[in-house]
Amino acid sequence: MAAVFDLPLDLDAFEGPFDLLLTLVLKEELEPAEVDIAAIVISFVERLADRDELDLEACGEFLVLIASLLELKARALFPEEDAELAELEPEEAAEELARRLAEYRRMKDAAAWLGERLAGERERFFRVGPAPLAPRPDRTLAPQDPQQLAAALRALAEPPPQVSLSHMGLRFPPVGQFLARFRAVLGRRRRFDFDAEVEGLNRIEQAVAFLALLELRKTGEVALEQAAPFAPIRVSRSDEERKSEWTVRSA
């Protein structure tokens, strides 16, 4: 069998003999994390399968080399643990290694036990919900007073009181009140200012007074004058009333 160093490799990060791969890793020209250890082992096993006899010396040499490569890769992947182990004495490092192997063995045994449990429970089906023979608790009601229940029902049966909306209604004074008021003012004077007459009234009363003024203007009893928009409104007698008054005085 050819030497282990001459083992040809065709990896993603490297292609060539095994000894060249080791040289590149030792010279730090190739990162150990990029080396596919499983592919190297498969290549070596395939190389062994092509021969009729087993070369124990080559197998031992390969195990030493692949173990060294695995150690380099582990140290590169876990630099903090590598620094901690480097500070330990040989006896302490051996105890730490034994502890980790024992912990690995416990985890492996636990995984095997879980696998056996899963295989044993594979044919079992669990019912979702309570069991049919489970005891059912008796639901008892607290003591009730029939008189209180009857009183509550009577209160629900009574019609609700009517809600008064009188406070929400707008109370408008009669328009005739302001018609008589304006006519009386014009009977004493020829003209007056509308703003002065409605001063002190609320907005609703002022609005009704303005409607009365428009009614007088519609019937031709008064004439309205305003110097500019939003200026005071001057109310006077109409021209027909002035003309009839002048005729009476002339006669």
Residue with tokens 């912990």: 103
According to DSSP, the residues that pair with 15 across neighbouring strands are 10
Q: Tokens 């002339």 — which residue?
A: 250
Question: Which phi and psi (to 5°) does residue 122 adopt?
Answer: -65, -35
- The answer to whether the CB of 173 falls within 8 A of the CB of 208 is yes
Q: Is residue 41 a contact partner of residue 4, using CB atoms and an 8 Å limit? A: no
pLDDT confidence bin for 73, thresholds 50/70/90: confident
Can you give the pLDDT at residue 40?
82
Q: Are the beta carbons of 21 and 35 closer than 8 angstroms? A: yes
- Residue of higher predicted confidence among 251 and 48: 48
What's the mean pLDDT in 89-107?
Answer: 75
- Taking the CB of residue 171, how many other CB atoms lie within 10 A of it? 7
Distance CA 110, CA 12 (A): 35
Rounded Cα gap, residues 217 and 235, in angstroms? 9
Per-position DSSP letters for 215-228, written without gaps between them? HHHHTTSEEEE-SS
**Contact (CB, 8 A) for 9 and 43:** yes
Continuous H helices in 165-202: 175-188, 194-197
Decide: residue 35, CB within 10 A, 0-12 exposed, 13-18 middle, 19+ buried: buried
Q: What would the pLDDT profile of 167-220 be if each residue is shown by its tens digit?
A: 666 677 888 888 998 999 888 888 899 988 888 888 888 888 999 989 998 988
The CATH classification number of 175-250 equals 1.10.10.580
Question: How many CB atoms are located within 10 Å of the residue 243 CB?
Answer: 10
Domain ranges across the chain = 4-87, 89-118, 175-250
2 pLDDT above the threshold of 70: no
Q: How many CB atoms are located within 10 Å of the residue 1 CB?
A: 14
Mean pLDDT score across all residues of the chain: 77
d(CA 81, CA 64): 22
Q: Which residue has the higher pLDDT, 172 or 106?
A: 106
More confident residue, 219 or 123: 219
What is the rounded CA–CA span in Å between residue 44 and residue 57? 14
51 CB-near residues (< 8 Å, 6+ apart): 1
Helix (H) or strand (E) holding 92: helix 90-120
- The model's pLDDT over 221-249, given as tens digits with 9 standing for 90+, comes to 898 888 888 888 999 988 645 544 444 34
- Per-residue pLDDT averaged across 9-27, rounded? 75
